[in-house]
Amino acid sequence: AKYVTNEPPSGWGKIVMLRNRDVLQHGEPTGLKYAGARTLAEWTKRAEDYGRPKNGAKASEKTGVDRIVSDNPAVIDLEMALPTDQGALPTHNAKGEGAKRMDLVTLEADGHELRIVFWEAKNAENPGLRSRGEPKVRKQLADYKAFLARPGMKVHVAKCYHRNCELLLALHSMAKSVQPGIAALDEAIHRVANGDELSVDADPRIIVFFDGPPTPSWSKHEAKLRTFASVQLLESYPYR
């Protein structure tokens, strides 16, 4: 809702939905009106302002993720939510907490094989990456791995992302009818949407982006991260 309006109607929560020309809180019959491109432009600006660093602060992780998505056409989903029930994860959410979420979902081609890869994205300054003991991000990845290890889960996830790619193809076709110059979808998305087999990488990875040159202490933190996860570094990814 914070991206939709600066003054949400009384009683609105965090999540709203678009139904025809109405922006609604779930269960409510009326809400705000959607006025097409003008409304979409307002939402885009509000989201950009929300992610923009304030008062000299470091770039937010949402900003970094936005840059990653814009540069990587194989990204197929953001913030994949995990279940909140007690039996699903070793460190299940306390009452009132939001669902745990994997930041990025991408497709990766290895020869003829296509696989789903999950990523936890963090700014290099995030304290979850830096610790004299065990980095907090390790527990996050353990939760993700436990979820994927549940019986039948990888098959279920692969089936869901087959459907995801079919929808991306359909949405892209609609967008292209309005804007013919839109960038093409990644070949892997076409392959999955057209029925190619899809596997799931059960070891989530870490992607780290920087606002500038790494600090002198970064190398020791990176070495610790690499003992339990695959790590990819993206240097010089400030807000633009």
Q: Are 137 and 123 in contact (CB under 8 A)?
A: no
Q: How far apart, in whole angstroms, are the C-alpha atoms of residue 45 and residue 40?
A: 9
- The pLDDT, as a whole number, for residue 31 is 75
Q: Which phi and psi (to 5°) does residue 220 adopt?
A: -70, -35
**Rounded to whole angstroms, what are the CA distances from 220 to 126, 129, 208, 215, 237?**
15, 11, 14, 10, 21
Contacts of 204 (CB under 8 A, 6+ apart): 102, 117, 118, 119, 120, 141, 144, 145, 148, 229
Q: Strands (DSSP E) along 64-129, which ranges?
A: 75-81, 101-110, 113-123
Query: Which is more confidently placed, 213 or 30?
Result: 213
Q: CB under 8 Å, gap of 24 or more: what pairs does 219-222 form? A: 221/129, 221/130, 221/131, 221/135
Residue type, 218: W
Residue 98's pLDDT band (cuts 50, 70, 90): low
CB proximity list for 205: less than 8 A, separation 6 or greater: 117, 118, 119, 120, 229, 230, 231, 232
User: 214, exposed or middle or buried, with CB in 10 Å at 0-12, 13-18, 19+?
Assistant: middle
Confidence class for position 239, pLDDT limits 50, 70, 90? very low
Q: Would you place residue 162 in the very low, low, confident or very high pLDDT band (cuts 50, 70, 90)?
A: very high
Q: Which residue, 129, 107, 131, 125, is CA-closest to 206?
A: 129
Q: What are 152's two structure tokens?
A: 């039948």
The answer on pLDDT for 76 being more than 50 is yes
pTM of the model: 0.79
Q: φ, ψ for residue 191 (rounded to 5)? A: -60, -45
